[in-house]
A and B are shown apart, each in its own frame.
Chain A
Amino acid sequence: MATETIPMKAKDYKSTIPPTWCPGCGDYGVLNAVLKAFADLKIDINNTALVSGIGCSSRFPYFVKTYGMHTAHGRVLPVATGLKLARPDLEVIAFGGDGDGFSIGGGHVPHVVRKNTDLTYILMDNSIYGLTKGQCSPTSEQGMVTSTTPYGSPDNPVNPLAFCLTYGATYVAQGYSSKPKVVQELVTEAIKHRGFSFVNIISPCPTFNKINTFESYKDKVEPIPEDHDTTDLNAALAIALKAKEGKVPAGLLYQVKTPTLVDRLNEIRQKAGGSDDYDINRIIDAYRA
């Protein structure tokens, strides 16, 4: 029951609950890569919390030995934010799917990002709603036939990378479930990053998405050029916007250092003269007539 002292291997981070994903689901690759990143970083299971929304991908926390929360559809980021702000000592990592993050949860992303909230957000993007059995997701292509779009989806997809860059994310990367080594590296760096880090991981759903298959990605995934300047926002945006041409850039797009929300809140506490044993009578006395 004491904190582990011998270094844990990736598999040691696995909980006793076996993943419930379909055979061949891209999320297995993500899980393995993340566990390796945890081992790399010697993550302490007691000081780490994995928070997720609802979806196949959002089952992630159950399969890991850390603390965690499996919240409501779309609410992963604000719940994770509350936890992190109340407990800045913890490593808080958010997980979810494309629908969870960019459809019902899409209203939280801009704010959590612009505030540079000290979270890592790992999104498993399969361009479909897996758990509800195959409806159009916000990253589904225009024209895609799904159970709710029998005549093809009328909607242009969202671009998670470009959105997060525009929102002011300070770490933005993209990986692909079939390239676990890259995913592992990007996740490791994302966790090490101070502030908001976003890792979008293409993670196909062989059960319900017959368009964006592993096969289909073979020629689309392109490593980000070595000479890309990861501090150049415009260059990063240009790469992100390549999605329009059907390309899937993989690697680190952008990383900069700026004060985080935790930093800013600490400044406020300082300005207010914050202390753990502030005398409440000082406040009460101000209300005397």
Chain B
Amino acid sequence: MIGLGHYLILAALLFSIGLVGVIRRKNLLMLFFATEIMLNAANVAFAAISSYYHDLSGQMFAFFIIAVAASEVAVGLGLLILLYKKYGTLDLDNFTMLKG
């Protein structure tokens, strides 16, 4: 039997990987992938805790996170399409008009 800690550390690591991606990526689409990883990390954590505590709230939370992730993808893609249509690029280095 694997301890809860293992799952949680895995979740933490996945989150960190997501974070690295978020920090590293300049292409917005790829960046969104990384945010998905972050959300999934949380899902793993919730599912594991839920399972170990025999409590359903965690699974519910994970379920809603998935729903949120789906919605975010929809909106995010909409935005990306808009940006791509207008500017022909998804590199966030190109969007630095607003600053200071």
Do A and B pair up? The answer is no
The chain B residues found within 8 Å of chain A, CB to CB, are: none
